[in-house]
Amino acid sequence: MLKNGRKSSEKELDTFSQKRPVGRPYRIAASEVWGRSQNLRLQFGQIWNTVAETLLRAQTPEEVLKALELAGQYWRNELGPGRIPTLILTILRDPKFPKQRVQQQINFLADSLAALGNVSPRRSRDICEQERRKEKEESMGHHIIRREYYVECSCGYQGPALNNACRKCGAEIPASLEYLI
Ligand SMILES: [Zn+2]
């Protein structure tokens, strides 16, 4: 019993149209949501010219699917039927949905949809934003914030300088030497 219950709930994570179990806290992996958004951004980017006009006029979930189908049967198979077309409709009707810039529209839709409705579109966007920031910080990596010379001072100190001076006696590195290093 337990085993079966767990198995089916794990499966739901990757299925578009399954309903979420009632009364159970839903755990979603942030990196997975962001990964899915990146895929969706690419995919929507490729079809946006074809589907956008019809999609943005859609009034029903079926019209959403019909619009996406302009880009191929794949989309109907992938997203419908079930709750995803309804979710897309909700996202498109969000007052915050970008009105003009295409890339912003694509990003908004992808980020909102990325959690597949397991959390609210708003929360899904927040997760993506968070992961994107984290990724950016990681890609920037570490950088040098201070450079110190290795010095041999007449006071006997040998080692890294501190603020361009001997760490032991404070003698400054003469400018004439500084340029030689
Ligand atoms: Zn010294």
* 99 & 52 share domain: yes
In a domain, 21, yes or no: no
* 121 & 148 share domain: no
State in Å: Cα 143 to ligand 1 middle: 29
Count: domains in the chain:
2
In a domain, 155, yes or no: yes
Three-state secondary structure along 100-126?
CCHHHHHHHHHHHHCCCCCCCHHHHHH
pLDDT tens per residue, range 125-175:
999 999 999 888 887 777 777 788 889 999 999 999 998 899 999 999 887
In a domain, 8, yes or no: no
* 149 & 104 share domain: no
Query: Average per-residue pLDDT in the chain?
Result: 84
State in Å: Cα 125 to ligand 1 middle: 57
pLDDT tens per residue, range 41-77:
999 999 999 999 999 999 999 999 999 999 999 998 8
State in Å: Cα 161 to ligand 1 middle: 9
State in Å: Cα 158 to ligand 1 middle: 8
pLDDT for 153: 93
> Rounded CA gap, 142 and 145, in Å?
9
pLDDT for 79: 85
State in Å: Cα 115 to ligand 1 middle: 61
* 99 & 117 share domain: yes
* 148 & 130 share domain: no
In a domain, 18, yes or no: no
* 69 & 97 share domain: yes
State in Å: Cα 147 to ligand 1 middle: 18
Where residue 127 falls (left for φ over 0; alpha for ψ -120 to 50; beta otherwise) is alpha
Q: Is the pLDDT of residue 1 over 50?
A: no
pLDDT for 91: 97
Residue 169: give the domain boundaries. 144-181
* 170 & 131 share domain: no
45 forms beta bridges with none
* 154 & 124 share domain: no
Q: Is the pLDDT of residue 7 over 60?
A: no
In a domain, 51, yes or no: yes
Q: Which two tokens stand for residue 60?
A: 């029903």
State in Å: Cα 144 to ligand 1 middle: 25
* 88 & 156 share domain: no
pLDDT for 22: 52
Sorting pLDDT into bands at 50, 70 and 90, what band is 27?
low
In a domain, 22, yes or no: no
* 87 & 153 share domain: no
pLDDT tens per residue, range 70-127:
999 999 888 877 899 999 999 999 999 999 899 999 999 999 999 999 999 999 999 9
> Rounded CA gap, 93 and 64, in Å?
12
In a domain, 11, yes or no: no
Q: Angle formed by the axes of helices 121-140 and 83-93, to 10°?
A: 80
In a domain, 106, yes or no: yes
Q: Is the pLDDT of residue 15 over 50?
A: no
State in Å: Cα 91 to ligand 1 middle: 67
Higher pLDDT, 123 or 5: 123
* 79 & 163 share domain: no
* 39 & 55 share domain: yes
